[in-house]
Amino acid sequence: LVGIVEFAAFNQKSSLVVTASNDNTARIWDTRTGSLLHTLKGHTKTVNSAAFDQEGSLVVTASNDNTARIWDSRTGSLLYTLKSHSDVVNSAYFSYDGKLLVTSSWDNTAKIWDMKTMSVTKTLYEIPGLYIKGVNFKDISPRSKITDKQKEIFRQNGAII
Protein backbone atom coordinates (compact mmCIF):
# COMPACT_ATOMS: atom_id res chain seq x y z
CA LEU A 1 0.00 0.00 0.00
CA VAL A 2 1.17 3.48 -0.78
CA GLY A 3 -0.85 5.40 1.81
CA ILE A 4 -1.80 4.85 5.42
CA VAL A 5 -5.02 2.83 5.61
CA GLU A 6 -7.60 4.99 7.40
CA PHE A 7 -10.52 2.53 7.25
CA ALA A 8 -11.42 -0.94 5.97
CA ALA A 9 -14.74 -2.75 5.47
CA PHE A 10 -15.97 -6.13 4.17
CA ASN A 11 -18.72 -6.65 1.64
CA GLN A 12 -21.75 -8.70 2.77
CA LYS A 13 -20.20 -12.01 1.65
CA SER A 14 -16.76 -11.18 3.12
CA SER A 15 -15.27 -11.93 -0.30
CA LEU A 16 -14.08 -8.35 -0.81
CA VAL A 17 -12.54 -5.65 1.37
CA VAL A 18 -12.45 -1.96 0.58
CA THR A 19 -9.75 0.19 2.18
CA ALA A 20 -9.66 3.99 2.46
CA SER A 21 -6.24 5.68 2.46
CA ASN A 22 -4.53 8.99 3.05
CA ASP A 23 -3.09 8.86 -0.48
CA ASN A 24 -6.52 10.06 -1.77
CA THR A 25 -7.57 6.60 -2.96
CA ALA A 26 -9.65 3.63 -1.91
CA ARG A 27 -8.83 0.09 -2.96
CA ILE A 28 -10.93 -3.04 -3.46
CA TRP A 29 -9.28 -6.33 -2.52
CA ASP A 30 -10.14 -10.01 -3.01
CA THR A 31 -10.07 -11.60 0.48
CA ARG A 32 -9.37 -15.11 -0.82
CA THR A 33 -6.31 -14.27 -2.86
CA GLY A 34 -5.23 -10.95 -1.34
CA SER A 35 -5.18 -9.50 -4.84
CA LEU A 36 -5.82 -5.84 -5.51
CA LEU A 37 -8.80 -5.63 -7.86
CA HIS A 38 -9.33 -1.88 -8.26
CA THR A 39 -7.83 1.41 -7.13
CA LEU A 40 -10.52 4.05 -6.85
CA LYS A 41 -9.00 7.37 -7.92
CA GLY A 42 -10.83 10.70 -7.95
CA HIS A 43 -10.69 12.22 -4.48
CA THR A 44 -8.24 15.08 -4.06
CA LYS A 45 -7.61 14.57 -0.32
CA THR A 46 -7.52 11.74 2.24
CA VAL A 47 -10.27 9.14 1.96
CA ASN A 48 -11.69 8.66 5.47
CA SER A 49 -14.10 5.77 5.03
CA ALA A 50 -15.52 3.38 2.48
CA ALA A 51 -18.45 0.97 2.50
CA PHE A 52 -20.18 -1.53 0.23
CA ASP A 53 -23.91 -1.56 -0.41
CA GLN A 54 -25.81 -4.71 0.60
CA GLU A 55 -25.46 -6.28 -2.86
CA GLY A 56 -21.75 -5.50 -3.02
CA SER A 57 -22.08 -3.83 -6.41
CA LEU A 58 -21.47 -0.29 -5.14
CA VAL A 59 -18.89 1.35 -2.90
CA VAL A 60 -19.24 4.76 -1.27
CA THR A 61 -16.20 6.74 -0.12
CA ALA A 62 -16.00 9.80 2.12
CA SER A 63 -13.14 12.28 1.91
CA ASN A 64 -11.42 15.35 3.31
CA ASP A 65 -12.17 16.97 -0.09
CA ASN A 66 -15.75 17.59 1.20
CA THR A 67 -17.28 14.97 -1.11
CA ALA A 68 -18.59 11.44 -1.05
CA ARG A 69 -18.26 9.36 -4.18
CA ILE A 70 -20.10 6.28 -5.42
CA TRP A 71 -18.22 3.66 -7.40
CA ASP A 72 -19.05 0.49 -9.32
CA SER A 73 -17.23 -2.18 -7.30
CA ARG A 74 -17.05 -4.57 -10.27
CA THR A 75 -15.26 -2.14 -12.60
CA GLY A 76 -13.83 0.50 -10.25
CA SER A 77 -15.59 3.22 -12.28
CA LEU A 78 -16.74 6.44 -10.63
CA LEU A 79 -20.53 6.75 -10.91
CA TYR A 80 -21.42 9.85 -8.84
CA THR A 81 -19.77 12.64 -6.86
CA LEU A 82 -21.93 13.92 -4.01
CA LYS A 83 -21.29 17.58 -3.19
CA SER A 84 -23.36 19.14 -0.44
CA HIS A 85 -21.13 19.34 2.62
CA SER A 86 -19.04 22.43 3.35
CA ASP A 87 -16.31 20.57 5.27
CA VAL A 88 -14.64 17.16 5.57
CA VAL A 89 -16.94 14.19 4.90
CA ASN A 90 -15.81 11.61 7.42
CA SER A 91 -18.25 8.75 6.81
CA ALA A 92 -20.84 7.46 4.37
CA TYR A 93 -23.05 4.35 4.41
CA PHE A 94 -25.83 2.81 2.34
CA SER A 95 -29.17 1.93 3.93
CA TYR A 96 -30.00 -1.76 4.16
CA ASP A 97 -32.57 -1.55 1.36
CA GLY A 98 -30.20 0.45 -0.87
CA LYS A 99 -32.67 3.31 -1.31
CA LEU A 100 -30.79 5.81 0.84
CA LEU A 101 -27.27 6.90 1.67
CA VAL A 102 -26.12 8.80 4.75
CA THR A 103 -23.04 11.04 4.98
CA SER A 104 -21.57 12.82 7.99
CA SER A 105 -19.33 15.86 8.04
CA TRP A 106 -17.32 18.25 10.14
CA ASP A 107 -19.83 20.88 8.98
CA ASN A 108 -22.05 19.63 11.86
CA THR A 109 -24.47 17.78 9.58
CA ALA A 110 -25.47 14.33 8.55
CA LYS A 111 -27.23 14.22 5.19
CA ILE A 112 -29.61 11.57 3.91
CA TRP A 113 -29.47 11.10 0.14
CA ASP A 114 -32.04 9.50 -2.16
CA MET A 115 -30.22 6.96 -4.34
CA LYS A 116 -32.64 7.39 -7.27
CA THR A 117 -32.26 11.16 -7.54
CA MET A 118 -28.82 11.52 -5.89
CA SER A 119 -30.23 14.47 -3.96
CA VAL A 120 -30.32 15.31 -0.25
CA THR A 121 -33.72 14.51 1.29
CA LYS A 122 -32.91 15.44 4.90
CA THR A 123 -30.18 17.35 6.68
CA LEU A 124 -29.65 16.57 10.35
CA TYR A 125 -27.91 19.31 12.32
CA GLU A 126 -25.64 18.60 15.28
CA ILE A 127 -25.16 20.77 18.33
CA PRO A 128 -23.09 23.88 17.40
CA GLY A 129 -19.44 23.57 18.42
CA LEU A 130 -19.40 19.80 18.00
CA TYR A 131 -19.02 17.76 14.86
CA ILE A 132 -20.43 14.43 13.79
CA LYS A 133 -17.61 11.91 13.74
CA GLY A 134 -19.50 9.19 11.95
CA VAL A 135 -22.91 7.73 11.22
CA ASN A 136 -24.36 4.44 10.13
CA PHE A 137 -27.92 3.40 9.45
CA LYS A 138 -27.57 0.88 12.29
CA ASP A 139 -27.10 3.82 14.68
CA ILE A 140 -30.57 5.23 13.96
CA SER A 141 -32.51 2.00 13.46
CA PRO A 142 -35.55 1.23 15.62
CA ARG A 143 -33.51 -1.40 17.50
CA SER A 144 -30.97 1.18 18.67
CA LYS A 145 -30.96 2.57 22.17
CA ILE A 146 -31.36 6.27 21.50
CA THR A 147 -31.90 8.60 24.44
CA ASP A 148 -34.95 10.85 24.59
CA LYS A 149 -32.69 13.88 24.16
CA GLN A 150 -31.13 12.37 21.01
CA LYS A 151 -34.60 11.56 19.64
CA GLU A 152 -35.70 15.15 20.23
CA ILE A 153 -32.64 16.53 18.40
CA PHE A 154 -33.30 14.20 15.46
CA ARG A 155 -37.01 15.16 15.35
CA GLN A 156 -36.20 18.89 15.46
CA ASN A 157 -34.04 18.38 12.37
CA GLY A 158 -36.58 16.40 10.37
CA ALA A 159 -35.61 12.82 11.17
CA ILE A 160 -38.34 10.22 11.37
CA ILE A 161 -37.83 7.98 14.41
- Per-residue pLDDT tens for 127-139? 555 545 555 554 4
- DSSP assignment letter at 142: T
pTM of the model: 0.80
Q: Which of 68-72, 112-116, 124-128 has the lowest mean pLDDT?
A: 124-128
Alpha-carbon distance of 23 to 127, in angstroms, equals: 31
Burial class (CB in 10 A: 0-12, 13-18, 19+), 142: exposed
Alpha-carbon distance of 92 to 68, in angstroms, equals: 7
- When comparing pLDDT for 126 and 119, which is higher? 119
Alpha-carbon distance of 26 to 137, in angstroms, equals: 22
Average pLDDT of the chain is 86
pLDDT bracket for residue 125 (50, 70, 90): confident
CB neighbours of 105 closer than 8 A, spacing ≥ 6?
66, 85, 86, 87, 88, 89, 90, 111, 131, 132
Residue-wise pLDDT tens digits, 37-80: 999 999 999 999 999 999 999 999 999 999 999 999 999 999 99
* 6 touches 21 (CB < 8 A): yes
- pLDDT at position 144 is 47
Q: Starting from the edge strand earliest in sequence, which strands make up the sheet with 16-21, in order?
A: 5-10, 16-21, 25-30, 36-41
